[in-house]
Structure 1
Amino acid sequence: MPESEHPVPALRPRPRLPRTAVAVAAAAAVVATAGAYATRWGPFGPDRLAVDPAAVAEAKAFLADWAGGRAESAGARTTSPDEARTALRNFTAGLDIAEPDLTAGAASAAEDGTVTLAFATRMPVTGLGTWSYDSRIPVRRQEDGAWKVAWDLSLIHPRLSGTEKFRLQREDAGSSPVTDRSGKPLAADASPSLKPVLAQIAQRAGAGPRGAIERIDRASGEVTGTEARFGKEGAAAGQSIPSTLDSRWQAAADQALAAKAGGKDAALVALRIDNGEILAVANSPAAGFNRALSGTYAPGSTWKIVTTGALLLGGAVKPGDIVDCPKYLTVGKQFHNVETSEFPGATFTKNFTESCNTGFISLRGKVGDAELGEVAGKYFGIGQKWDVGLPTFDGSVPAPRDQTEKAASMIGQGRVLGNPLTMASVAATAVSGTFHQPTVTPDAEDRTTTTALPGEVVTQLRALMRATVTDGTARGLAGLPGGIGAKTGTAEVSESAPNNGWVVATRGNVAVAVVVEGGITGGSSAVPVVRHLLEAVPQDPA
């Protein structure tokens, strides 16, 4: 407890001590200081020993080495380097633990000079889940004055010892195949992006992998306790698990990224416009992070669909109004158009189809500072909590902190964030007028609350997106049947990194969104992916 939180007692005359008593008390204080680098505060402060920061630093360095997989370095920080290295390696490898997450807590000092640092662990057990527990690291000063971790097996886990150890026991949950919308089993070998998706769907249904961390006697091998259980009882073995995915769209999505993303990190989502059901989720690379659903990207100019919705809802602009599009516009910082293009005397429609940043930014005074976020949430569901059936990031549109940030948010930069899932949904809402929460499992629950866009606004958004294909930056989709509408985007990442390329597109009852990291422009990198997809699947899903 901080010193200020302790009340100071009323002062009283203190009796004088004999000289011998004073000498003994002084000697005791010196011993305490030398042994623990600490002294008690006495009657006017907490009865607590101070902690040497160097000891805490050594304990935290040990944690960092352990978490980073540097067993050699971690062991060298202990009083038993060889034993520590072996134990740390065996613990993580034997229990299939990847990249431990270790968080330092409070430190305390003892009378004998030992400094103890509490820490919390999150141990990700491959394919099962996370094992969390708390432990402590004792640190002692050595003869040479250096601090070392006082090695003991119990610092890895309080119940790990010379007589007991841990064992990972995996259970066979049986085969519970996930099926597509027509009841056809989905296979990850046909669509590589599906591997993590299918595992998550199965786990949600209770048919995912199960297992336990057991504590066993080192001598007899008998189980003495269970430290953690993973998975849950659910779908019976062999029972199919339905999803909204479509085998044709999923396979075509994976193939489109492989053929047209140029080997760059990229992601794609396709969904039904009338009900939000997800038809395909594709990522490149297929393994690892699910960029399509959980990525946090600046959506760039695809966000101008929402900005346009806000302007049209407020009557701030009409498609035929003149909105000048200069090369540059300064609002705290200089903004420019892609390749510093300009369109003097352009209509608002031209600003939309050619994705004019400066023209859109010039209209920032016609919307309130928090209005973009309000429109995004009220009409497009962005920023509300979605229950899709898989882990997702559902977009974020914080109110701008100044006019420069407001200018950036008009064009999908600044702190505006989304991903292919949110932007496919934005496109679907724009052309239908109604937000439908995206879903991938039938049991997903919609807790969102939105308002339908006025019919006139929907008609204007459709026309603007169609014109972007016939006469604008998405002309790479021209010539395909189905009255395709689209909006491209170029999103700045940093001054040194290449821009991300974006596109959202709608055809019939399907909305698609693609991001290509480092794709430079949406027209050159993301549009070819969508064209490849739509050519491969010329018909809407049933």
Structure 2
Amino acid sequence: MGSRRAATGRRRTRPALIGGVAALVVGGAGVGAWAVYGGGAAAEETARSTAAAAREKVKSGPLTAAEVTTTAQRFLTAWQRGDIAGAAAATDDAEAATALLTGYAKDARVTDVTLTAGTPAGAKVPFSVKGTVRYRGEAGGEEVGKPLAYDSALTVVRRAGDGEPAVGWRASVVHPELKDGDRLVTGEAGTPPVKALDRDGGEITAAKYPSLGTVLDGLREKYGKKAGGAAGIELRVVRGKESKAAKASDKTLLELREGTPGTVRTTLDPALQSAAEQQVARKPRASVALLRASTGEILAVANSGHGFNTAFQGSLAPGSTMKVITSSLLIEKGLASVDEQHPCPKYFSYGGWKFQNDDEFEIKNGTFRASFARSCNTAFISQAPELEDDDLTRQAKEVFGLSMNNWSVGVPTFDGSVPVQSAAPMAASLIGQGGVRMNPLNMASVSATVRTGNFHQPYLVAPSVDGRELATASRTMSASTLGQLRRLMSYTAAYGTAAEAMAGVSGEVGAKTGSAEVDGQEKPNGWFTAYRGDLAAAGVVQQGGHGGETAGPLVAALLKAGG
């Protein structure tokens, strides 16, 4: 009934242009009424406009500033008025837009929407959203409501078929937290909130540790119903198939009535978590993870971009840090030995691809130790003819516990991928390119396995909390292989590509650098993995350049902080 009154009492106001910026403010419009009762005359006008456009010549060429501004105004004004049909018609996917904008009123229960456009940047138009979220439960229940405010953006494109300017439809237009297939829902939350604690009993909040927002979402999804809390009333993002496949958790956007949280203790160390947050803040697109090598306890995790947990869920080519796993394979098969001579030519061709070293260097009459320390690509590629297609995959799974998608950390993670490949892609996998994908948690675990000699699955919540089983590896390296691998990493930390970053890191140490080329990037992703005593860590700086110069100092600083 409230929506009907809002519809009949709405006031029509034209968008105002102030200094060339569209300030779209239409007073008191309730979106819900239009979602339920349709657009009326607006729908007829849309049909006439569509028919006329079909008769015109298809437009092409760059968008003009006027086309961008006018299209954005048309979409935002219609959405604000509650004219779902009109707003959807201004996009390049009317069906998807209609569904999500209708749900914005019906399911998310957002009313009194005010949209204000900002200054366009090319075809992109930022805008602010203000509204009120209202919810009434059972018949006669008390209505609760809270104001809602956030910023979003849209991009104007030429629509396929007629070339007319239209809003390029993405779910993120409605709210930046939405991925395609996600929904906004207001109601009694199915999962109670949790109060997450660090290993010392202190409360973990996103305000205190900005990197942990997604971790807290994951903890609530996993433990909310088990931790003894009671659900509240919330506006939240409910993930669709695509997001669930990427292991994204539902996310609370606004609490209308607080629930009673249960308590979950984690393995995070407050001092090390603070240090990790400080380190990633030094570099854009940086991510790190720190473990206790002997147990797998996760002591810290941080990302300089707080919207996605790359450290746990990233899927990136690890570059030459993968050579730790490849070296263990080559040593086991008798294809390499620390002090024996090993080829490191400028180039090596395999499977139709020509591989080379950074700056086309070569090492004449050098040992495998020298090739590992300097990160010689061809030293590894040259052994591809001696390997079976599945050798590297089996090594990663059987010894390092990777690429099986069975880690049970306590929150969603990507557990590494080393697919079976052949010919040139198989050779590329040996140096962490091809189809190999990892994240800092995976590579910190690799260093931990070298340090202790056994794979210990990383975990954020102790398995004793919920009785879950941790992943295991089916075998360990021989003492000889393990000893040689430690010598390789120790030498690299002291004299190789990791030496500058590891200077001043005392004790039993080992390290490996990596740089992973990515199509379309001017600079490679910089990787670094290392251990010190009972600590193991890894990091990546996307588009940062060489790992020793970018991720290396971040990882080394964490190892020092944990000393």
The answer to whether structure 1 residue 292 and structure 2 residue 311 are counterparts is yes
Secondary structure, aligned partner of 1:169: strand
- 1:240-259 to structure 2, matched below 5 A, reads 240-259=263-282
Per-residue Cα deviation, 1:383-421 (whole angstroms, up to 9, x for no partner): 1211111111111111113x2112101101000111111
Which has the higher Rg, Structure 1 or Structure 2? 1
Give, in angstroms, the shift of residue 321 of structure 1. 1.6
Secondary structure, aligned partner of 1:522: coil
In the aligned structure 1, how far is the partner of 2:553 from the partner of 2:432? 22
Aligned to 2:448: 428
Aligned to 1:486: 511
The answer to whether structure 1 residue 400 and structure 2 residue 418 are counterparts is no
In the aligned structure 2, how far is the partner of 1:167 from the partner of 1:258? 33
User: What letter corresponds to residue 266 of structure 1 in structure 2?
Assistant: A
Aligned to 1:317: 336
8 Å CA contact retained: 1:202, 1:208 = no
Aligned match for 1:469, one of 493, 503, 511: 493
Secondary structure, aligned partner of 2:549: helix
User: What letter corresponds to residue 513 of structure 1 in structure 2?
Assistant: A
Structure 1 unmatched runs, 5+? 1-53, 55-64, 100-120, 134-165, 215-228
Aligned to 2:484: 460
In the aligned structure 2, how far is the partner of 1:479 from the partner of 1:79? 60
Aligned positions, number = 396
- 1:337-376 to structure 2, matched below 5 A, reads 337-376=357-396
How many percent identity over aligned positions?
A: 37
8 Å CA contact retained: 1:318, 1:348 = yes
Aligned to 1:74: 88
User: What letter corresponds to residue 265 of structure 2 in structure 1?
Assistant: P
The answer to whether structure 1 residue 191 and structure 2 residue 183 are counterparts is no
Give, in angstroms, the shift of residue 285 of structure 1. 1.1
Alpha-carbon spacing, 1:493–1:89, altered in 2? closer, same or farther (3 Å):
same
Secondary structure, aligned partner of 1:240: strand
The answer to whether structure 1 residue 500 and structure 2 residue 525 are counterparts is yes
User: What letter corresponds to residue 193 of structure 1 in structure 2?
Assistant: S
CA RMSD of aligned residues (A): 3.9
Alpha-carbon spacing, 1:506–1:209, altered in 2? closer, same or farther (3 Å):
farther
Aligned to 2:346: 327
8 Å CA contact retained: 2:288, 2:539 = yes
Give, in angstroms, the shift of residue 361 of structure 1. 0.7
8 Å CA contact retained: 2:193, 2:220 = no
In the aligned structure 2, how far is the partner of 1:426 from the partner of 1:404? 25
Give, in angstroms, the shift of residue 83 of structure 1. 10
Aligned to 1:19: none
Give, in angstroms, the shift of residue 366 of structure 1. 2.9
In the aligned structure 2, how far is the partner of 1:190 from the partner of 1:79? 41
**After alignment, is 249-258 or 488-497 more displaced?**
488-497
Per-residue Cα deviation, 1:101-154 (whole angstroms, up to 9, x for no partner): xxxxxxxxxxxxxxxxxxxx9999999999989xxxxxxxxxxxxxxxxxxxxx
In the aligned structure 1, how far is the partner of 2:230 from the partner of 2:269? 21
- 1:23-62 to structure 2, matched below 5 A, reads none
8 Å CA contact retained: 2:108, 2:186 = no
User: What letter corresponds to residue 180 of structure 1 in structure 2?
Assistant: D
User: What letter corresponds to residue 362 of structure 1 in structure 2?
Assistant: S
User: What letter corresponds to residue 343 of structure 2 in structure 1?
Assistant: D
In the aligned structure 1, how far is the partner of 2:320 from the partner of 2:230? 39
8 Å CA contact retained: 1:310, 1:367 = no
- 1:128-139 to structure 2, matched below 5 A, reads none
User: What letter corresponds to residue 246 of structure 1 in structure 2?
Assistant: D
Alpha-carbon spacing, 1:529–1:213, altered in 2? closer, same or farther (3 Å):
closer
Secondary structure, aligned partner of 2:462: coil
In the aligned structure 2, how far is the partner of 1:83 from the partner of 1:394? 37
Give, in angstroms, the shift of residue 534 of structure 1. 2.9
Alpha-carbon spacing, 1:240–1:340, altered in 2? closer, same or farther (3 Å):
same
In the aligned structure 2, how far is the partner of 1:396 from the partner of 1:75? 42
8 Å CA contact retained: 1:294, 1:419 = yes
8 Å CA contact retained: 2:417, 2:437 = yes
TM-score (norm 2): 0.63
Alpha-carbon spacing, 1:183–1:517, altered in 2? closer, same or farther (3 Å):
same
